[in-house]
Amino acid sequence: MESFHIPVLKEEIRHWLQPHAGGVYVDGTLGHGGHTMMLLEASAPTGRVIGIDRDARNIATARERIGETDRLSFVQDDYRHLKRILDAQGIERVDGILLDVGFSSAHVDDAARGFSFQQEGPLDMRYDTDQGQTAAEVVNTWSEEQLTHVFLIYGEEDRAREVAKAILARRRERPFSTTVDLAETIAVALGRHGKIHPATRVFQALRIVVNDELGAIETVLPQAVDALNVGGRLCVVSFHSLEDRLVKRFLKARPDVQILTKRPLTPSPLEIAGNPRSRSAKLRVAQKLGPDEIGKSKNKYNTHDRSLNNKALNALPTDHSNVPHSVEPHA
Ligand SMILES: C[S@@+](CC[C@H](N)C(=O)[O-])C[C@H]1O[C@@H](n2cnc3c(N)ncnc32)[C@H](O)[C@@H]1O
């Protein structure tokens, strides 16, 4: 049986996005369609969803899983082009936007995509395999300074310089072409200590830079708020502190949104037990304000919607019954 990506914080997103019949929603990171299925169900019978993903294979899986319906449009594109995508659909404003950023379990489970340092595969890591440079091109051509910067900033790898030096020394003999090849070079440079594989942080950094993940988030956020109807909501799930910080700062600086989650929502212990990959997920939610509401609220944060706070949500049962629990998408 095919294993699908398990959607994180699904009940929380249902609660905060408030999908309803007649509404129009964007799932900017369709993946295997787990969240989109929830949006379709919650907005039945007339709600509409635009499901975007850069990865053609994930779109094909979602299409096969959900089937064709005139309530759902599949769009293979980068969510950073949100305005253009909505224009092409003839849509000016939407009622809710979800971004569940990063990679899906399909990426790490398939060795041929090059995300996993535990399985031999080409050093690729692109979500869209038709565009951009591969991880191999980055490690084989970028300077020691550039690689050190990438590993330090995106991977928070303290020994970034040592890794960059080891990569340059090795590539002078022979360029890198596979995941395991790179992982072994890193393991030799850093040694093995503790449970975490020494290549974990460097692989994360490469994935972020290969797909320009922070650039995509930075570019989409203003378009997302602009595209919301008054009262419409934006939900962003991030898995990395840099992404989360970007979202937090953007929302704080934007006068026409009310932040509904003072602190980000996180998965319950039950959800983490069923889906360990969810453990670093953070959900932030904001609501679009009308012109006459801007600047009126004393507080940037909503103080009246306490119906489901983080604690209460963490007590919610999370239904994983329709998806296998075996998927643990860690490289
Ligand atoms: C965490 S997964 C989403 C999983 C999905 N919510 C589900 O329930 O199956 C993130 C997805 O976003 C896609 N993605 C990452 N960056 C993207 C971007 N800039 N534009 C569009 N899709 C992107 C990835 O290909 C991946 O399928």
Which one of 104, 271, 323 would you pick to mutate in the ligand 1 pocket, going by the greatest count of ligand atoms within 8 A of its CB? 104
pLDDT band at 179; cut points 50, 70, 90: very high
Across the range 154-182, mean pLDDT stands at: 97
pLDDT value for 330? 32
DSSP 6: P
What is the DSSP secondary structure assignment for residue 290, as one 8-state letter? P
Which residue among 6, 17, 29 has the greatest number of ligand 1 atoms within 8 angstroms of its CB, and so is best to mutate?
A: 29
pLDDT tens for 138-150 read 999 999 999 999 9
H helix count then E strand count, the chain: 14, 7
The arithmetic mean of pLDDT across residues 285-293, rounded, is 95
The count of structural domains within the chain is 2
Mean pLDDT for 203-228 is 97
Question: Quick one: 205 and 220 in the same domain?
Answer: no
CATH number at residue 129: 1.10.150.170
Domain residues for 176?
111-210
- Please name which of 80, 78, 188 lies closest in space to residue 127, comparing C-alpha atoms: 78
Probe ligand 1: pick from 27, 64, 127, max atoms within 8 Å of CB?
A: 127
Please report the pLDDT score of residue 299 as a whole number: 62
pLDDT value, residue 194: 82
Residue 192 binned pLDDT confidence (cut-offs 50, 70, 90):
confident
Q: Would you say residue 281 has pLDDT above 80? A: yes
Report DSSP letters for 49-92, one per residue. EEEEES-HHHHHHHHHHH---TTEEEEES-GGGHHHHHHHTT--
- Output the CA 51–ligand 1 centroid distance in Å: 10
Mean pLDDT of the chain: 90
Verify whether ligand 1 is closer than 6 Å to residue 329 (CB atom): no
Position 182 in a domain: yes
Mean pLDDT computed over 20-46: 98
The CATH number given to whatever domain includes residue 228 is 3.40.50.150
What spacing in Å lies between the alpha carbon of 104 and ligand 1's midpoint? Answer: 6
19 with 65, same domain: the answer is yes
102-130 pLDDT, tens digit each = 999 889 888 999 999 999 999 999 999 99
Q: Is 104 in the pocket of ligand 1 (CB under 6 A)?
A: yes
- 91 and 165 both lie in a single domain: no
Q: How far apart are CA 49 and CA 42, in angstroms?
A: 11
Rounded to the nearest angstrom, the distance between the alpha carbon of 50 and the centre of ligand 1 is 13
